[in-house]
Structure 1
Amino acid sequence: MAAKDLRINELIRVREVRLIDEAGEQLGVVPTNQALAQAKEKGLDLVEVSPNANPPVCKLIDYGKYKFETEKKNRESKKKQKQVKLKEIRMQPKIESHDLAFKTKHILEFLEEGNKVKVTIRFRGRELAHTEIGRDVLLKVLENLGEETHSVDRAPTMEGRFMYMLLSPKSKK
C-alpha cells in the first residue's frame, strides 16, 4: 500500500485499533481517541498501516519521516529492476548464408544484453506458397545460435504474410 493511501490521525474513523508504538511493541487493542491522545502526547502521528485487519493496525510514527522512507524504498526497488525490451530482426526466405550469419550475430548480441528477440520472415508474392523455406531459415537460425544462449518462447508461427518466432535469453542462475 502506498504511503498516500494511508489514513492518519483524525481520518481514522473506527471505534478501536490495534496499537503499535514507535519502538515496534504492541500496546494491544485500544479505543481510537485514546490512541490519538497518546500520539499527540508523544508528538507523533497515528498512522493506519493495515486497514484490512480486524481491528485495523495503527502505528505511532512521524508520518513525514515514514512517507520519506517508503518513497526511498520504492526508488531503490525501481533501480534494481531491469526493463526487458523486445528487439525484432527481419529477414526474407531467400536470405544468403552470409547475411543469415550476420543477422544471427545480432540476435546473439541482443540475447546477451538480456532482451527478447522476435525473428520475423516476410513473405512477398509467390513466396507465400513456400512457407516451409521460411521455417527452414528460422530453424537454421536456432541451429546457428546453439542451445545454451536462449530459450524459444514461441516456435515458428505464421501470421498473415509473416512467420515469426520469439526467443528469450536463458537466465544466468
Structure 2
Amino acid sequence: MKPWIDRALLGLHTIGAATLIALVGVIAYDVLGRLLFNRPFPGTFEITSAGLVLLTFLQTPHAMREGKLLRVTFFIDRVPPLLRQILEVLAWSIGGAIFLVFVVAGWEPAIEGWKSAEFFGNEAFRLPASPLRFSALVLWLAGAAVCIGFAVEALRGRVDSPSTSTH
C-alpha cells in the first residue's frame, strides 16, 4: 500500500491508543470517586461503552495492515501456492464485504440519530450518538478499503498480504 495510507492507518491506531489511555483514566476516576468519596462518575458506562467501540475500529485497519490479526496458518501454509492465493482473495473479500455490510446496516441509524439528536445515557450524563455512529461508518469504510486492497493484491499474486509478508 502507499506510504500515506500506512501513515493514516498508524494515525488511527495512535488515536486508538490515546482513547485507551483516556478510558483507563475515566475508569480510574470512577473507581477512586466511588471508593474515596462515595461519588462515582455518572458517565463512566456511556463513555467506556462508546470508547470501546471506537477503540476497536480505530485500531483494526492498522492491525490488518501490519498482519497483527490472529491467524491460524497451519492449513494455509500446507496448501499449494495457487490454492493459497485463492484462499487469500476469498478471505480478504469476505472481510471487505463484512465491513461494507456494517456500513450499509449502520447508515440509516446514523442518519436517524443525527436527525433526532439521539443520545446515549440518562439525565445525569448524556453522550450524543451521531458522532460515534458516523465515526464507526468511516472506520468501517477504512477496514473495508484495507481488506479490498489486500484482496486485489492477492488476486494479482503479490505477496505483501500480511500472512505471507515479514513487515
* TM-score, normalised by the number of residues in structure 1: 0.26
More strand per residue: 1
**Higher relative contact order (Cα pairs below 8 Å, separated by 6+ residues):** 2
Q: Max radius of gyration: which structure? A: 1
More helix per residue: 2
